[in-house]
């Protein structure tokens, strides 16, 4: 369940975690925070690991907007998924679903789309290893 304002851009080394937790996007991702009104920025790696990758940053992250509807985005592969992969997303608030749907990998300019593509990329990489 990554932060709804986190734009994943590159894989992080997961050896900083021992053992590595089950990560919402499959692997640890580095990237950009798109929450501040002043514009996107790249948070410190510890913030990315604990808040951006894990979600539920409301009240813990100084940049998380107070009036935001969702706290986290969760992705899941449908069983028996083939190519292209069939992925569903759930946007949560207070650990309860508030929106869900089928993820369309063809979506372009949105954080949901970027996170969905990161999830699929990690899933493929982990399945191959």
Q: What's 44's DSSP letter?
A: -
12 touches 31 (CB < 8 A): no
**Mean pLDDT taken over the chain:** 88
| Overall domain count for the chain | 1
Is residue 107 assigned to a domain? yes
Residues 6+ apart with CB under 8 A from 76: 87, 88, 90
Question: Do the beta carbons of residue 69 and residue 58 sit within 8 Å?
Answer: no
Q: Please tell me the predicted confidence (pLDDT) of residue 82.
A: 65
- Domain of residue 84 covers 6-128
Residue at 92 is within a domain: yes
pLDDT at 81: 58
Q: What is the pLDDT of residues 39-97, one digit of tens each?
A: 999 999 999 999 999 999 999 999 999 888 899 999 998 877 566 778 999 999 999 99
């Amino acid at each position: 369940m990554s932060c709804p304002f986190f734009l994943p851009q590159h894989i992080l080394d997961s050896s900083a975690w021992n053992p590595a937790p089950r990560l919402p996007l499959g692997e640890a991702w580095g990237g950009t925070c798109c929450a501040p009104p002043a514009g996107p920025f790249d948070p410190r790696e510890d913030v990315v690991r604990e808040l951006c990758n894990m979600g539920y940053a409301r009240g813990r992250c100084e940049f998380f907007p107070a009036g935001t509807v969702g706290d986290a985005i969760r992705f899941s592969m449908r069983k028996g998924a083939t190519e292209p992969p069939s992925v569903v997303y759930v946007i949560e608030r207070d650990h309860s679903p508030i929106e869900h749907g089928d993820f369309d990998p063809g979506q372009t300019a949105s954080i949901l789309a970027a996170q969905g593509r990161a999830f699929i990329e990690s899933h493929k990489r982990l399945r191959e290893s």
